[in-house]
């Protein structure tokens, strides 16, 4: 079970469903919209999904929240990379 800050913990089936529904899309957004290499895009998708699990009970529009979160995170990563070049 994944403990949440508020509400009931999610069971493994719910976590797997969230990953199945959104992982590919989140990784693709990071890869194609922000030109991230596949491993970095997948890592970012994992991090966003973990954050989404922590906020699961408080988010009513999960897809919108996850897409916005991966876009913000990818933007931060790409701006940090360009600043270091």
Alpha-carbon distance 59 to 69, whole Å?
12
Alpha-carbon distance 7 to 79, whole Å?
35
- Residue pair 26/45 in contact by the 8 Å Cβ criterion: yes
More confident residue, 79 or 28: 28
Alpha-carbon distance 77 to 70, whole Å?
10
pLDDT digits (tens, 9 = 90+) for 3-44: 554 556 778 898 899 999 999 999 999 999 999 999 999 999
Task: Look at the pTM and tell me if it is higher than 0.95.
Answer: no
Alpha-carbon distance 15 to 42, whole Å?
17
């Amino acid at each position: 079970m994944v403990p949440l800050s508020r509400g009931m913990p999610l069971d493994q089936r719910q976590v797997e469903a969230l990953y199945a529904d959104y992982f590919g899309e989140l990784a693709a957004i990071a890869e194609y919209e922000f030109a991230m290499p596949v491993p970095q895009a997948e890592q970012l998708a994992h991090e966003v999904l973990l954050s989404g699990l922590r906020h699961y009970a408080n988010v009513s529009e999960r897809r919108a929240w996850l897409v916005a979160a991966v876009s913000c995170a990818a933007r931060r990563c790409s701006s940090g990379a360009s600043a270091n070049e």
